[in-house]
Copies of this chain bind each other. A is one copy, B any other.
Amino acid sequence: MSQPAPGPRLQMTLAAAELFRERGYDGTGLREVVERAGAARGAIYHHFPGGKAELATTVVDAVGGRMADLVEQVCARSTPTEAVDSLMDYIEKVLVGDGSVGRSGCPVAAVALAAEDDDGALRAAAHAVFQRIRTAIADCLRRDGIGAGTAEEFATMAVASAEGVIILARAARDPAAVRTVRRSLQWTLQQLGPRGARS
């Protein structure tokens, strides 16, 4: 429903996502969002009557949802090894995207860590995205013949280490940890692969 114009509303959403990546939810000002989006300040309450919180949930639903879409697509047509590689490629690309390593992070995590979230809507939106990604990865492993419990466990581990390594890499200003986590996940996959033999 709605989606009347793919114009300023989308651009504000993308600008907010970018800023959330760099500065987090509380570190991002609405004036900066509209400025980066090339929009008017009043426009924000026209497109997001709920204010900053609605903008943030929109960012999570749209940008986080798009991330989940990509993971689902990759997972649907690839092996777990390829899926992990693809996920880590994406993280590495985001981290070193603008040259200065480690300025950019995950907008979903940023919203999940927002200071004020009275009704828990921000956290819930972020949780939904994490859940989709986890499920997509777990399905990918199961299709590869790995037991449901082990698949779920690996998927949780993959998402957690992905979010965590972003923090480590940003603190270190060095994406080396991403490659380490990638190697570790691939090794685990290899152990699981031949025979998903676990209780």
Of B23, B173, B177, which is within 8 A of A123 by CB? B173
Given the known interface contacts A23-B26, A184-B153, A184-B156, the answer about A112 and B163 at a Cβ–Cβ threshold of 8 Å is no
Which of A115, A123, A168, A198 counts the most B-chain CB atoms under 10 A from its CB? A168
The verdict on A90 contacting chain B, using a C-beta distance below 8 Å, is no
From residue A71, how far is it (CB to closest CB) to chain B in Å? 15
Determine whether A14 belongs to the interface, using a CB cutoff of 8 Å to chain B: no
A181 to B155, CA, bound (A): 10
Is the beta-carbon distance between A109 and B184 smaller than 8 angstroms?
A: no
Interface assignment of A159: CB less than 8 Å from any CB of chain B: yes
Q: C-beta contact mask, A154-168 vs B, less than 8 Å → 1, else 0?
A: 101101111111011
Decide yes or no whether A24 CB sits under 8 A from chain B: yes
A152 to chain B, nearest CB (A): 7
Contacts of A27 in B (CB 8 A): 25-26, 114-116
- How many chain copies does the complex carry? 2
Asked if A12 is at the interface (CB within 8 A of a chain B CB), the reply is no
Select which of B115, B127, B188 is within 8 A of A172 by beta carbon: B127
> Given A156-B181, A177-B156: A170 and B113 within 8 A (CB)?
yes
Q: Is there a chain B Cβ closer than 8 Å to A99's Cβ? A: no
Contact, CB under 8 Å: B23 / A171: no
**How far is it, in angstroms, between the C-alpha of A138 and the C-alpha of B147 when the chains are bound?**
30
With A24-B113, A116-B27 as known contacts, state yes or no: A180 contacts B157, CB within 8 Å: yes
Contact B24 A171 (CB under 8 A): no
25 contacts between A and B (CB under 8 A): A22-B115, A23-B26, A23-B115, A24-B26, A24-B115, A25-B27, A27-B114, A27-B115, A27-B116, A112-B167, A113-B167, A113-B170, A120-B173, A127-B172, A127-B173, A130-B172, A153-B184, A156-B180, A156-B181, A157-B161, A160-B177, A161-B164, A163-B163, A163-B167, A164-B164
